[in-house]
Structure formats: structure tokens, C-alpha cells
Chain A
Amino acid sequence: MSTTNWKLWEVFLRSKNGLSHKHVGSLHAPDSNMAIKNARDVYTRRSEGISIWVVPSEEITASSPDEKEALFTPSDDKVYRHPTFYDIPDDVQHM
């Protein structure tokens, strides 16, 4: 049967204009057009979206959980990047 190699596609939906597309799941399809059609049937049966993106899963490069520390901890000790780091008297308004 020739379906064994149907690509896996990741599906992203925009629920309404003004919001970003959000990952909702994946599906198999022979090409991008069919992936959109399948995504419409599988992921938008109840008006969940007004726009669909499909991306071949193999085209996504993900960071590794092992690199988590190296990638993300450097920002943990930079508290001065947050507004709450600064002591401003309550009398000062609109700040």
C-alpha cells in the first residue's frame, strides 16, 4: 500500500484575526493542499479557526531539552529587565 510514506504535517490554527496561529496537532497527507483539506476536517469542525498553516514536521528544528539550561537560565538572573526591579515611590503617578 502506497500510504506508508505520507508525510506528517504539523497544523496551526488562527482562531480569529488579531491572534497568532497556534499549534493544534498533526496529521498525514500526501501534499500541502491535501494537508490543508484534512486539517479543515480534523481540526475545525466547530469554527475553531479562520486560517490554517501546515508545516512538514521534518522541517521543524527544535531545541533540545538538554540545552535548556544553557539557553534559558542566563535570563533568570537579569531581574533588572523587569519593571518591578525598580523602586519608584507611590506618589509618582503613571509609571
Chain B
Amino acid sequence: MGTNVSLEDKFQSYVDAEKKVEPKNWMPEKYRRTLIRQISQHAHSEIIGMQPEANWITRAPSLRAKLILLAKVQDEAGHGLYLYSSAETLGEPRDKMIADLQSGKAKYSSIFNYPTPSWADMGTIGWLVDGAAIQNQVMLTRTSYGPYARAMVKICKEESFHQRQGYEVVMKLTQGTPEQIEMAQESLNRWWWPSLMMFGPSDDNSPNSEQSMLWKIKRKSNDTLRQEFVDKTVPQAEYLGLTIPDKDLVWNESRGHYDFGDINWDEFYQVVKGNGPCNKERIAHHVKAHEDGAWVREAANAFAEKQAKRKNKEASAA
């Protein structure tokens, strides 16, 4: 009579029944660690992701473009904060997460280690990078950990604006002068492959994926998500009259999907290891912004203390 059901087995059948795990529920330590790693990495990506786009705020080509870009970068900050607070429900202190990011112990999405030398990149990032992120995040709205799933619902609603505004930027360029069309194409050429890498290693090289799928943290494999992204994006590029830089890209009638060329995994692992074009710059900037903001935090503390004292005084006088 299976009286000796382990806590792990109980947890698995709970998750199998499509019930959500909430902060105070028992969970395997490895489930907790996996989530902390994944959610904090996701939060760091949102925060570091502000940098490549912030690069263009002061030189956006119009006031309209500038307002939109500001709003988008502000959203990324918000997304980072929803995610940090959801990771904190697992008992991981905020300061530790930030310290791990700054020391290089924690990772963030490699895509943000590429530079943004052209205005067209603001469009391509919204279209491809946010598009790839949405592909992954829509899946995560159904993740088994409640606080993470709720943060994702909120993020997905806002990401849709990000992708559409990006596509609009690229579309405007492709309707412009030959130079502008060339800008859009050149940007697509640089971002296409790194965008495909955003889904992570291929399934046979992704050792943690199986357990994550079993726990329903993830619902789809890296390769499945990547294929969905390619299938959605190719017609969008065709509409713009742009060419995806992959000579092996072809519609496969029997599969009902696009076939595409091999990803340069050496490049992927080099960037993950810290050897991408902007890794050092991104972390150095984060550290500097954190340190430059110290006086603001100190002032807020001083003000809070003063207010508390005043309140106490009033209370004792009354």
C-alpha cells in the first residue's frame, strides 16, 4: 500500500495535476534553486537590456520616437523589478542577486552583449529580440511557480507594445530612401543569428531542460520555441522586403515549418563566457550606475528617518 510516498513524489503529482506552487508550499530544494537561477537571470536580462536601447534615447530621430523609447526602457526596468520581487518570494535577498550579477556569477541573456551602433537597431531589437522574448514568456505565463507566472502575465501584456513599436521603426526605414532600407537590412543581418541563440542550446545540449519540463517550469523545449519563432518571423521579414541572412532558409512542405541553417554555437558559448563585444562594458555600467545612485538611496533613508522621528514626536505630544 504505497504509504511511503516521498515528498518529491507528492510534489511531482501535485505539479502533474496542473496545480500552481506558491511560496509557502513545500518544494524540492533543486526546484527552488532552479527557479532562483532562472528568474534572477531573467530579471538581470531586463535590467541589462536597458543599456543597448538607452544608447539611443538622447539621439532618437524625433520627439515621438524618443517618448516611445523612454517608455520602453522604463518598462524594462519595471519588468526587472517584477521579476526580482518574484525571486525574493523564494527566499533569495535582492542584494545578493545584484551582487551576483555584478561579480559575474549570475548570467543574463547574451543578446544584450551586442552593440547598437545604428538607429535601425532600435527597431530590430523590438521586432526580433522582444519577439523572441515573447515566444519564451508566453510559455512562462503557464509556469508551475505562481509568482513567476503572475509576473509573466503582466510582462507579456507590455511586451506586445515593445514588439509592435520595433516593427514600426523597421517598417518606416524600409519605406524610406535606399540608404534607410540598407540600414534596416544591415541591422537585420547583425541581429538575426544572435536572436535565434536567445532560445538557448539545442535540445540535445541542454541538460537542465528535461527536469524543468518535468516540473513544468518550462513547457516547450528550446528547439520548439526557436522553430515557432522562425515560422512567425520569416513572413514578417518578407512583408518588409528584407532578406533573412540565411542561405539555407527554406519552407519545408512536409514538415510544415521553415528549415534553417546551423547556428554558430562557438559564438554563443564565447559570449556566454564573457567574451562578447560588450560584456565588460555592460557590467561596468551597471556598477557605475549603482554607485552613482548611492547618494539618492542615502537621501531617501535620511528623509525616512526624519519623517519617522517627526511622527513619533507628534504622537507623544498628542
* Interface set of A (CB-CB < 8 Å, partner B): 1-4, 8, 24-31, 33-34, 41-43, 45-46, 62, 64-65
Contact A26 B88 (CB under 8 A): yes
7 additional A-B pairs beyond A27-B81, A31-B308, A45-B75, beta carbons within 8 Å, are A8-B88, A26-B89, A42-B82, A45-B78, A62-B24, A64-B24, A65-B26
Interface flag for B213 (CB, 8 Å): no
Within 8 Å by CB of A34, from B25, B88, B304, lies: B304
Within 8 Å by CB of A65, from B25, B71, B151, B298, lies: B25
Contact A25 B151 (CB under 8 A): yes
Q: A45-B75, A65-B26 are in contact. Are A25 and B86 (CB under 8 A)?
A: yes
Minimum CB–CB distance from B256 to chain A (whole Å) comes to 37
Interface flag for B95 (CB, 8 Å): yes
Interface residues of B in 66-96 (CB under 8 A from A): 71, 74-75, 78, 81-82, 85-86, 88-89, 94-95
Inter-chain contacts of B151 with A (CB < 8 A): 25
Question: 5 closest A-B pairs (Cβ-Cβ)?
Answer: A31-B304, A30-B304, A26-B85, A3-B297, A30-B300
Minimum CB–CB distance from B202 to chain A (whole Å) comes to 35
Q: Interface of chain A, helix or strand or loop or mixed? A: mixed
Minimum CB–CB distance from A25 to chain B (whole Å) comes to 5
Cα distance A12–B298 when bound, in Å?
27
Inter-chain contacts of A43 with B (CB < 8 A): 78
Count: A-B pairs, CB below 8 Å: 57
Inter-chain contacts of A26 with B (CB < 8 A): 85, 88-89
Interface band, chain B: 20 to 34
Inter-chain contacts of A30 with B (CB < 8 A): 297, 300-301, 303-304
Within 8 Å by CB of B85, from A27, A41, A64, lies: A27
Within 8 Å by CB of B297, from A2, A25, A33, A46, lies: A2
Contact B81 A42 (CB under 8 A): yes
Interface flag for B250 (CB, 8 Å): no
Inter-chain contacts of A65 with B (CB < 8 A): 22, 24-26
Cα distance A24–B78 when bound, in Å?
13
**Which chain A residue shows the least CB distance to B25?**
A65
Contact A25 B85 (CB under 8 A): yes
Cα distance A62–B23 when bound, in Å?
11
Contact B81 A3 (CB under 8 A): no
Cα distance A58–B124 when bound, in Å?
44
Contact B297 A1 (CB under 8 A): yes
| 29 A-B interface contacts by CB (under 8 A) | A1-B294, A2-B297, A3-B95, A3-B297, A4-B95, A8-B85, A25-B85, A25-B86, A25-B151, A25-B154, A29-B300, A30-B303, A30-B304, A31-B307, A31-B308, A33-B304, A33-B307, A34-B303, A42-B78, A42-B81, A42-B82, A43-B78, A45-B158, A46-B158, A64-B24, A65-B22, A65-B24, A65-B25, A65-B26
Q: From A26, A30, A65, name the one whose CB has the most chain B CB atoms within 10 angstroms.
A: A30
Minimum CB–CB distance from B318 to chain A (whole Å) comes to 19
Inter-chain contacts of B88 with A (CB < 8 A): 8, 26
